[in-house]
C-alpha cells in the first residue's frame, strides 16, 4: 500500500522561489570583476533567474541541454545556475584553473551549447574557442559598458542576453530526477569524468547541508562560500542558503587574506567555507597585520585535510568554531561534517581538537563503511582502516556518457578511493587517498598524518609527503617542505619535531626544501606531479639501508 501524501517533485527552482517569497529582501552581495560591489535580494535574483530561463528557451535551449559557466562566485553566475536548472537544462560549472586541454576536453565532452564567462576568462576562451565546436555563443558576465572587444563567437554581455526576454515565465514542472548540474572531477589519471547531479539529489543535499550539526545554516547567518561554485557546487551552499534565507556574500575573484578579511568584517559574515590553502592565506594575514574577524562564528574546512595547527589557530586565537568536512564531486558533495557530540563538550581542549582533526560524521542520507581489499566490512573501532565506500541519494551512480560502465558494487556502494577509519561514535578519519598511502615493508604510512604533523612546526608554511622507491622497504616517506618566508629550518630540527608525534618507523627518510608545492585546480597538493618529480630520488637510507 502506498502512502497518501502528495507526490510533488523536488526541484531546484523551488529553492529560489521559496526564498523569493519568504526571504524576499534578504541580501545577496557580490564582489564583481569590474563593476564593484553589487547588492540585491532573493526576490530580484529569482526574477532575473526566470528571465534568464526564458532567454535560454528563446535561444533554443531545451530540457537536458548543457550550458557552461567559467565564473567566480557571483550573482550572475547564481542566476545561470538557477535559470538553467530551473528550466530543465544543465548548468555545467567548468573549473577555469584546469589546463587548457582539460577545459577543451570537458566542454567538448559535455557538448555545451552556450558558455557564460567572467571577464577574467575571456583571454582563456579566445585561446580555445576554435576547438570548442559545440559552443554556439559566448556570453560575458557583465553589462554592455564593460564588454571587451573580442572575436569570440556571438559574444555579448550577460545583460544584453537577459534583455532578449522578459520575466513573464512560470517555472516548469518535470521529473525530479531530471539532470540539473554537471561537474567534472579533477581527474588525477585519465580524462576528467562528469558527475551529473539531479534536481532531486541537489534539493535533498541542500536539506542535509543546512542541518544544525552539518553546516548549521539559518536565516540569521551571513554566509560566504569562498569555495568556488566550480568546485563541487561550492559545497552546496548556494542551494542551501535560499532554502533557509541566509544572506549570501559571493567574494568574486580576490580570495587572498586581506580581501577576505575586509569582506568578512564589512558584511558581518558569520559562516564561511574554503579549502585549507585559502584559510592559510587568511590566518597568515590576520597574524601579520594584527587584524581580526570578529563576526565570524564558524568556518568549514574541506577539500583536503585540515591541519591540526589550523584548527587550533581558529578555535583558540579567533574564537571561530571549525567544522572539518569531507566530501567529493561524486557526492554533490557533502559526506561528513565534524560537529562535537554532547559528551565531548566537557573534554579538555586538546582532546576536543583531536576529535576535530577527524573528517566527521556522515550527514543523514550518506551511508558509509570501510572494507578490506576483498570487500569485507571492517570494524568501526577507530583503528581498522580500509577502503571508504558510500551510497545514498546524492552519490554518483554512473559518470556522464559512461552509463554502460558499472561504477558501483553489487550492494550499490561507490568506492571513494579514500582510505579511512570509522570510530564507534561514527566519526570518519581519512588516512589517505589510496593512491597516496605509503607502503613501507607491507605496512601503510599515512602521508596526511605526516603532513599535518609537519605543518604544526612554526617554521613550516606547507608540507607534502610522498612515498619514494626504496630497495628494502618498497617505499619510504620523503618530506617536502616550504619554509615560512624568511625562516631557515633544518632537516634535523624537523625530524626531531616529528619524533614525539608519529611512530618511529613513520619518520621520513629525508627532507627536501622547496619554494612552492604544486596544487591541483581545486587546491589540493598535486601528489602525482611530486611523485613524478621525485621518482628517481635517492634516499640516504636507500644507499645505506636501515635494518
Tell me which residues are annotated as active site.
Answer: 185, 330, 439, 444
Q: Within a 13 Å sphere around the CA of 177, how many CA atoms are in the beta-carbon half?
A: 3
How many whole angstroms separate alpha carbon 425 and alpha carbon 254? 39
C-alpha grid cell for residue 331?
557526492
C-alpha grid cell for residue 295?
563576526
Alpha-carbon separation of residue 151 from 110, 121, 309 (angstroms): 23, 14, 49
Residues sharing a CB contact under 8 Å with residue 222, sequence separation 6 or more, in sequence order: 246, 247, 248, 249, 267, 268, 269, 270, 271, 295
Q: Write out the H or E segment, with its range, that includes residue 125.
A: helix 122-128
How many whole angstroms separate alpha carbon 30 and alpha carbon 546? 57
Q: Which positions lie near ligand AMP, rule CB under 6 A?
A: 185-186, 232, 302-305, 324-326, 328-329, 333, 359, 416-418, 430, 433, 522
Q: Beta-strand (E) ranges in 154-221?
A: 156-157, 179-184, 194-198
Q: Which one, 138 or 230, has the nearer CB to ligand AMP?
A: 230
Beta pairing partners, 157: 140
Beta pairing partners, 224: 272
Q: Write out the H or E segment, with its range, that includes residue 122.
A: helix 122-128
- The nearest distance, CB 161 to ligand AMP, in angstroms, is 30
Q: Provide, for the chain, the percentages of residues in helix, strand and coil under a 3-state DSSP scheme, each rounded to the nearest 5.
A: 35, 25, 45
| DSSP string for residues in 327-385 | E-GGGSSEEEE----GGGTTS-HHHHHHHHTS-BEEPTT-EEEEE-TTSPBPP-SSS--
C-alpha grid cell for residue 492?
634535523
Q: Which one, 378 or 526, has the nearer CB to ligand AMP?
A: 526
**Strands 179-184 vs 90-93: parallel, antiparallel or unpaired:** parallel
Q: Write out the H or E segment, with its range, that includes residue 263.
A: helix 257-267
- The nearest distance, CB 344 to ligand AMP, in angstroms, is 19
- The nearest distance, CB 11 to ligand AMP, in angstroms, is 25
Residues sharing a CB contact under 8 Å with residue 534, sequence separation 6 or more, in sequence order: 466, 468, 478, 480, 512
Alpha-carbon separation of residue 69 from 111, 150, 241, 252, 294 (angstroms): 13, 18, 20, 14, 34
- The nearest distance, CB 367 to ligand AMP, in angstroms, is 16
Amino acid at each position: 500500500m502506498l502512502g497518501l501524501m502528495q507526490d510533488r517533485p523536488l526541484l531546484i527552482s523551488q529553492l529560489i522561489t521559496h526564498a523569493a517569497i519568504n526571504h524576499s529582501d534578504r541580501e545577496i552581495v557580490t564582489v564583481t570583476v569590474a563593476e564593484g560591489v553589487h547588492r540585491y535580494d532573493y526576490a530580484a535574483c529569482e526574477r532575473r533567474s526566470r528571465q534568464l530561463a526564458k532567454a535560454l528557451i528563446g535561444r533554443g535551449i531545451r530540457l537536458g541541454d548543457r550550458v557552461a559557466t567559467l565564473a567566480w562566485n557571483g550573482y550572475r553566475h547564481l542566476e545561470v545556475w538557477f535559470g538553467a536548472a530551473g528550466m530543465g537544462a544543465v548548468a555545467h560549472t567548468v573549473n577555469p584553473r584546469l589546463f587548457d586541454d582539460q577545459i577543451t576536453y570537458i566542454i567538448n565532452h559535455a557538448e555545451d551549447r552556450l558558455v557564460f564567462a567572467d571577464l577574467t576568462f575571456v583571454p582563456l576562451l579566445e585561446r580555445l574557442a576554435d576547438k570548442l565546436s559545440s559552443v554556439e555563443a559566448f556570453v560575458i558576465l557583465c553589462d554592455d559598458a564593460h564588454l571587451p572587444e573580442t572575436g569570440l563567437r556571438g559574444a555579448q554581455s550577460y545583460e544584453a542576453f537577459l534583455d532578449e526576454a522578459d520575466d513573464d515565465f512560470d517555472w516548469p514542472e518535470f521529473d525530479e530526477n531530471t539532470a540539473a548540474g554537471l561537474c567534472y572531477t579533477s581527474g588525477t589519471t585519465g580524462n576528467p569524468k562528469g558527475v551529473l547531479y539531479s534536481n532531486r539529489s541537489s534539493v535533498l543535499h541542500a536539506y542535509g547541508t543546512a542541518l544544525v550539526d552539518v553546516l548549521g545554516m539559518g536565516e540569521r547567518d551571513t554566509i560566504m562560500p569562498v569555495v568556488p561554485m566550480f568546485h563541487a557546487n561550492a559545497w552546496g551552499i548556494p542551494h542551501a542558503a535560499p532554502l533557509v534565507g541566509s544572506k549570501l556574500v559571493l567574494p568574486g575573484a580576490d580570495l587572498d587574506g586581506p580581501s577576505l578579511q575586509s569582506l568578512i568584517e564589512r558584511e558581518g559574515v558569520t559562516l564561511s567555507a574554503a579549502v585549507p590553502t585559502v584559510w592559510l592565506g587568511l590566518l597568515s594575514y590576520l597574524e601579520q597585520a594584527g587584524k581580526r574577524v570578529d563576526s565570524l562564528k564558524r568556518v568549514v574546512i574541506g577539500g583536503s585535510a585540515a591541519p591540526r595547527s589550523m584548527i587550533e589557530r581558529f578555535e583558540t586565537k579567533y574564537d571561530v568554531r571549525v567544522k572539518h568536512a569531507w566530501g567529493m564531486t561524486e557526492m554533490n558533495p557533502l559526506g561528513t561534517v565534524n560537529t562535537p557530540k554532547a559528551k565531548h563538550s566537557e573534554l579538555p581542549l586538546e582532546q576536543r581538537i583531536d576529535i576535530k582533526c577527524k573528517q566527521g560524521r556522515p550527514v543523514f542520507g550518506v551511508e558509509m563503511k570501510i572494507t578490506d581489499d576483498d570487500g569485507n566490512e571492517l570494524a568501526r573501532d577507530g583503528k581498522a582502516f580500509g577502503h571508504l565506500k558510500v551510497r545514498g541519494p546524492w552519490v554518483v551512480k554512473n559518470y556522464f556518457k559512461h552509463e554502460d560502465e558499472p561504477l558501483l558494487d553489487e550492494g550499490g556502494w561507490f568506492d571513494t578511493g579514500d582510505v579511512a577509519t570509522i570510530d564507534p561514535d561514527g566519526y570518519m578519519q581519512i588516512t589517505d587517498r589510496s593512491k597516496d598511502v605509503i607502503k613501507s615493508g607491507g605496512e601503510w604510512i599515512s602521508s596526511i598524518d605526516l603532513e599535518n604533523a609537519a605543518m604544526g612546526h612554526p617554521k613550516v608554511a606547507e608540507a607534502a609527503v610522498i612515498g619514494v622507491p626504496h630497495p628494502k622497504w618498497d617505499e619510504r616517506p620523503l618530506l617536502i617542505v616550504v619554509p615560512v618566508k624568511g625562516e631557515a629550518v633544518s632537516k634535523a630540527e624537523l625530524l626531531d619535531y616529528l619524533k614525539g608525534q608519529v611512530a618511529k618507523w613513520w619518520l621520513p627518510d629525508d627532507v627536501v626544501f622547496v619554494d612552492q608545492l604544486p596544487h591541483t585546480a581545486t587546491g589540493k597538493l598535486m601528489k602525482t606531479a611530486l611523485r613524478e618529480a621525485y621518482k628517481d630520488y635517492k634516499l640516504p637510507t636507500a644507499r645505506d639501508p636501515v635494518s
